[in-house]
Amino acid sequence: MSQAERSRAVAARRPDAPLHLVFVPFLARSHFVPLAAKAAASSAASRAEHEVAAATATTAAIVTTAHFAALAPASVPVHAAPLRCPGGHEDFSLLPDEASFAPTFFAAAEAALAPALTAAIRAHDGRRPVAVVSDAVLYWAPRVARDCGVPHVTFHTIGAFAAAAMVALHLYRPEVVLTGPFAVPGGFPHPVRVNRAQVNEEALANLPLFRAAEAQSCAVVFNSVSALESDFAAYYQSQLAGTPKKVFLVGPTRAAVSPPPRAVTERDPILQWLDGRDAGTVVYVCFGSTCALGESQLRELAAGLRASGRPFVWTIPTPPRGDGTGSCTEREERASSHGMVVAGRWAPQAEILAHHAVGGFVTHCGWNSVLEAVSAGVPLATWPLRAEQFLNEVFLVEVLRVGVRVREVARESDLEAVVPADAVARAVGRLMGGDGQDEEAVAARRARSRELGAAARAAVAEGGSSCGDWARLVYELKSFHGRDSDPQT
């Protein structure tokens, strides 16, 4: 009896058996966090099974490498595989040159994770229904799921707006993409214009491979919220290749990566510093765990924050890129009456953004950071650095209207130019208000941010849209095991 036949037999004998979800994140921290969070939530649901409808009960496991297994939630079983990548690289986002190392890293990831995924599926040997939820860039995962006779779900760790815009550019790409600015084509739901410097050409080149893999899935998931991106999710669904399938918005996922251990009564010094500040007065600055700025840019940013006159918290998880212009302490923590700088350690970003004292966020526009800010109802000053972050900026500034740009990127050379201190100070002023700023625009952004924050939090509350989408997805995945047809069709 094949795996698919055993799974269908289990579904027939035990229709109320919990669905076992095998999560396979891509080997990059920003990708790992949302999938691990969803795995933790699925595992938690199984522990509260008496409160969960049998049709949507789940258990979970994660397939990853030893490096990321150390970051996994303690509540979720992990199948760890050894990664043998030349140079000893463990995290894609920390590669010295992504373009040069990417093919080797992707091959090493497949060699490590594909057999581990097969083993994780077959370990259940038909004792319960199983489904695979993998990162959208793991193009081999749908094939493994199909070979094992179980359904597969494609999980996008970027937003639906960015993903839909990339698909529109891929399918309907006008020649003016080489010059720009140009309108996103293909009947895009919102009229926005971008230029070539804002388009991730490498991702566009790989899109046919990822779309072909996604066509083998039975469903598509975004770590997003219906109140933010329903129109763009619907557009994305309309452009999917292969058999028609549903798109589910199940975010924002709660961060599940465990912070460094602290005494139960100890509160992070950043939060303690914020406790002494007035509501909405502090600007928070962070460029993510892997986006490092050069030393000269760090100095301009520091000068700009001081010149803005606003109290600030600035966290620098990643050591700066050396550019021969000086040095920066790799691990540092200092505070004064007007600001706090924390370098070289983990910081509780979601808690920082949710603190009453924080009134704005200077960000690289990584999607995880965007969701945390939106959920907290905090407006943003946008400073994208790479990948789809430039499209996220367009989404925040032009669609959601909760952001202000720190800089304009019109050509490739603008990406490497140092943003001067006065430009930083002006952007912080526009974000936070005061000193002759357009107070009506500031108030509108704050009101809009609060409105979207309430919607995002409601989505993951009991009865919310994201909870409902997740329950419907689980129900459909269980139903696949009762069919005689291929689970991916």
Q: What SS3 state is found at 294? A: strand
Instruction: Please state, rounded to an integer, the average pLDDT across all residues of the chain.
Output: 87
How far apart (Å, rounded) are the C-alpha atoms in residues 342 and 93?
Answer: 21
Say what the pLDDT of residue 258 is: 42
Residue whose C-alpha is closest to residue 2's, from 489, 479, 475, 487: 487
- How many angstroms from the chain centroid is the CA of residue 245? 22
DSSP string, 335-395: E-SSEEEEESS---HHHHHHSTTEEEEEE---HHHHHHHHHHT--EEE---STTHHHHHHI
- How many angstroms from the chain centroid is the CA of residue 330? 26
Say what the pLDDT of residue 50 is: 46
Say what the pLDDT of residue 53 is: 62
Residue whose C-alpha is closest to residue 27's, from 135, 131, 144: 135
Query: Using 50, 70 and 90 to split pLDDT, how confident is the model at 187?
Result: very high
Between 14 and 122, the more confident residue is 122
Query: Using 50, 70 and 90 to split pLDDT, how confident is the model at 481?
Result: confident
CB 51, CB 14: distance < 8 Å: no
Residue whose C-alpha is closest to residue 63's, from 147, 140, 162: 140
Rg (CA), the chain: 23
Residue whose C-alpha is closest to residue 352's, from 304, 403, 282: 282
* Other Cβ atoms closer than 10 A to 185: 15
CB 270, CB 339: distance < 8 Å: no
Between 201 and 111, the more confident residue is 111
- Share above pLDDT 90 across residues of the chain, in percent, rounded to a whole number: 67
Query: Using 50, 70 and 90 to split pLDDT, how confident is the model at 328?
Result: very low
Say what the pLDDT of residue 356 is: 97
Say what the pLDDT of residue 124 is: 82
Query: Using 50, 70 and 90 to split pLDDT, how confident is the model at 419?
Result: very high
| pLDDT surpassing 60 at residue 262 | no
Residue whose C-alpha is closest to residue 467's, from 254, 262, 158, 204: 254
Q: Which range has the worst mean pLDDT, 7-16, 25-34, 283-292, 472-481?
A: 7-16
| pLDDT surpassing 80 at residue 71 | yes
| pLDDT surpassing 90 at residue 233 | yes
Overall average pLDDT of the 135-150 stretch? 97
- Share above pLDDT 70 across residues of the chain, in percent, rounded to a whole number: 84
Read off the amino acid at residue 323.
D
CB 212, CB 241: distance < 8 Å: yes
Overall average pLDDT of the 150-178 stretch? 88
pLDDT tens per residue across span 89-138: 999 988 887 767 889 999 999 999 999 999 999 998 767 899 999 999 99
CB 23, CB 63: distance < 8 Å: yes
Residue whose C-alpha is closest to residue 134's, from 115, 113, 119: 113
pLDDT tens per residue across span 301-319: 999 999 999 999 999 986 6
Between 434 and 442, the more confident residue is 442
Overall average pLDDT of the 221-229 stretch? 97
Overall average pLDDT of the 368-382 stretch? 96
Exposed/middle/buried for residue 372 (C-beta within 10 Å: 0-12, 13-18, 19+)? buried
Between 258 and 348, the more confident residue is 348
Question: Which strands, in side-by-side order, build the sheet including 130-135?
Answer: 78-81, 58-65, 19-24, 130-135, 152-156, 219-222, 246-249
How far apart (Å, rounded) are the C-alpha atoms in residues 343 and 301?
Answer: 14
| pLDDT surpassing 90 at residue 255 | no
How far apart (Å, rounded) are the C-alpha atoms in residues 74 and 431?
Answer: 38
Query: Using 50, 70 and 90 to split pLDDT, how confident is the model at 178?
Result: low
Overall average pLDDT of the 67-76 stretch? 93
How far apart (Å, rounded) are the C-alpha atoms in residues 232 and 230?
Answer: 6
How far apart (Å, rounded) are the C-alpha atoms in residues 245 and 489?
Answer: 9
